[in-house]
């Protein structure tokens, strides 16, 4: 079991990870307007150094939940402008407060309008200056590969309108298929705020046709926010970052609506102009989507709907294609210590295999290596190939791992496959086509039972296929 320190980062690398989404909190970094906490930054420096020493890369996540440290984490108190609205926290899931708390909604509305902070400078202007301060510090740091500009930006009162539209559509559609759930928006919302009621509603929404009819009524509301206020914010922050760091990748997140499968309306950040079609796009951008079934953070998390999960990630893949950006799923899982979650975790992993995307699991907790879901996190996968990856898949039912790639003939470095300790096999059960120039198998660390399989390239252009059967 690890907390934080060099041992944790070494363990992460031994478990096959090669990148960490490292959280930064606005309140910790800028406790007073325009004043940056050097002790906080020194601790961040230390964590980045530990990651680099262990062979890990890092992207910095400016994290917020419910916008402010007054309600969860994120903005400092001085940047939380509620206009006296009360904080109302109802429901069994922490994120319900986005919809029930006038204080959270008002604080977000003030942020998106760039309302002046107590010193007269706009809230977003402070935020952009803070990011510039970070970017200046890490522009030449080889471990830092990206800046995740804001975790799950929520549109404030517009998000409440989206929820109201969704529940109105749900009441209309469920009135005929599930009248026992209630015949009004108020009845459904009341059920939603209890664990039992939420699970009962979601059982009926396993029908993806029904589910999409309900969530898609919110698309225009979320897209209007993303195309206007969110992209204006992203351009402001990107401009501040690019003034001091022209190359480190910008990780762009969506509203929470896309976490559950609503198509995102975000656009590429442009270096000049006000829209994606009026200027040159920034060359280093990542579509940093999150994906959770609506049972997340409930006792029923192991009962995630495969149909809804497939919809969420299929739509993320389509959005990444529309944007012309690589897809990086910055959050998934959140299974914690809950029993019975391994099948649900494997199902999400299989979506990543289909999309050939990168991902970071939410979130590390001490003892995670003993959690029921951990095998799907600590799993076989191709770390790199001498060409272009075509496909890979591990089948937990048959124990067979397959990987195919197209070698380009110019890369001398070997392809490398990570194989966890629990994936036991004999070399006789390894099939490589064509056989090529040899393979080596070595531990990830000197005393580790986790291994890396290195496959020397053939030196020619052509398809290669690896099959390993677990014994």
423 closest CA partner among 393, 396, 446: 396
pTM for this entry: 0.96
Q: Per-domain residue ranges for the chain?
A: 6-378, 380-471
Residues in contact with 393: Cβ distance below 8 Å, sequence separation at least 6, in sequence order: 350, 353, 401, 402, 403
State whether residue 248 is helix, strand or coil. coil
* pLDDT tens-digit readout, 100-115: 999 999 999 999 999 9
Evaluate if residue 1 carries a pLDDT over 50: no
Least confident of 66-70, 71-75, 198-202, 269-273: 269-273
Superfamily holding 380-471: Golgi alpha-mannosidase II (2.60.40.1180)
Dihedral angle sign, alpha carbons of residues 206, 208, 213, 217: positive
DSSP E strands in 198-278: the ranges are 249-252
Q: Which helix (H) or strand (E) holds 387?
A: strand 387-395
- The neighbouring-strand residues paired with 469 are 400
Q: What separation in angstroms does the CA of 344 have from each of 204, 307, 367?
A: 18, 11, 20
pLDDT of residue 273: 67
Q: What is the mean pLDDT of residues 284-308?
A: 97
DSSP for 266-287?
----BSSSSSTTSSPBPS-EEE
Do domains 6-378 and 380-471 share one topology? The answer is: no
pLDDT of residue 322: 98
Evaluate if residue 251 carries a pLDDT over 90: yes
Please state which CATH number belongs to domain 6-378: 3.20.20.80
Least confident of 24-38, 43-57, 86-100, 167-181: 167-181
State whether residue 58 is helix, strand or coil. strand
- Give the distance, in angstroms, between the CA of residue 388 and the centroid of all CA atoms in the same chain: 24
Residue 446 burial by CB count (10 A; 0-12/13-18/19+): exposed, middle or buried? exposed
* pLDDT tens-digit readout, 225-236: 999 999 999 999
* pLDDT tens-digit readout, 318-364: 999 999 999 999 999 999 999 999 999 999 999 999 999 999 999 99
pLDDT of residue 10: 97
3 state SS for 358-383: EECCECCCCCHHHCCCHHHHCCCEEE
Average pLDDT over all residues of the chain? 95
């Amino acid at each position: 079991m690890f907390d934080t320190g060099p041992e944790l980062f070494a363990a992460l690398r031994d478990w096959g990870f090669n990148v960490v989404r490292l959280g930064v909190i606005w309140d910790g970094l800028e406790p007073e307007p325009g004043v940056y906490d050097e002790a906080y930054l020194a601790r961040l420096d230390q964590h980045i150094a530990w990651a680099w020493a262990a062979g890990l890369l890092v992207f910095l996540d400016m994290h917020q939940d419910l916008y402010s440290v007054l309600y969860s984490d994120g903005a400092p108190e001085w940047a939380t402008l509620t206009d006296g609205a009360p904080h109302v926290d109802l429901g069994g899931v922490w994120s319900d407060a986005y919809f029930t708390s006038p204080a959270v909604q008002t604080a977000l509305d003030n942020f998106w309008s760039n309302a002046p902070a107590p010193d007269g400078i706009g809230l977003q202007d402070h935020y952009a200056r803070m990011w510039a301060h970070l970017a200046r510090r890490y522009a030449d740091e080889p471990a830092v590969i990206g800046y995740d500009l804001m975790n799950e930006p929520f549109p404030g009162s517009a998000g409440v309108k989206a929820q109201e539209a969704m529940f109105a559509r749900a009441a209309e559609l469920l009135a005929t298929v599930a009248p026992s759930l209630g015949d009004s928006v108020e009845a459904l919302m009341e059920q939603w705020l209890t664990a039992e009621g939420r699970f009962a509603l979601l059982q009926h929404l396993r029908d993806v046709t029904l589910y999409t009819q309900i969530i898609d009524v919110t698309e225009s509301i979320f897209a209007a926010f993303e195309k206007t206020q969110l992209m204006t914010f992203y351009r402001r922050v990107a401009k501040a970052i690019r003034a001091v760091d022209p190359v480190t990748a910008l990780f762009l997140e969506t509203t929470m609506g896309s976490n559950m499968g609503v198509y995102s309306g975000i656009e590429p950040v442009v270096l000049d102009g006000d829209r994606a079609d009026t200027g040159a796009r920034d060359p280093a951008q990542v579509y940093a989507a999150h994906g959770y079934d609506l049972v997340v953070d409930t006792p029923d998390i192991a009962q995630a709907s495969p149909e809804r999960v497939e919809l969420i990630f299929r739509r993320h893949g389509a959005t990444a294609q529309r944007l012309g950006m690589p897809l990086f799923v910055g959050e998934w899982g959140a299974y914690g210590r809950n029993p019975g979650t391994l099948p649900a975790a494997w199902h999400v992993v299989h979506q990543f295999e289909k999309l050939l995307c990168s991902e970071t699991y939410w979130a590390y907790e001490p003892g995670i290596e003993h959690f029921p879901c951990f095998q799907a996190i600590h799993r076989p996968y191709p770390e790199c190939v001498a060409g272009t990856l075509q496909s890979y898949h591990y089948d937990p039912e048959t124990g067979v791992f397959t990987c195919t790639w197209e070698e380009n003939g110019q890369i001398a470095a070997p392809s490398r496959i990570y194989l966890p300790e629990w994936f036991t096999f004999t070399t006789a059960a390894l099939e490589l086509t064509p056989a090529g120039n040899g393979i080596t198998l070595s531990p990830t660390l000197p005393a580790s039972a986790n291994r890396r399989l290195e496959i020397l390239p053939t030196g020619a252009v052509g398809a290669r296929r690896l099959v390993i059967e677990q014994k």
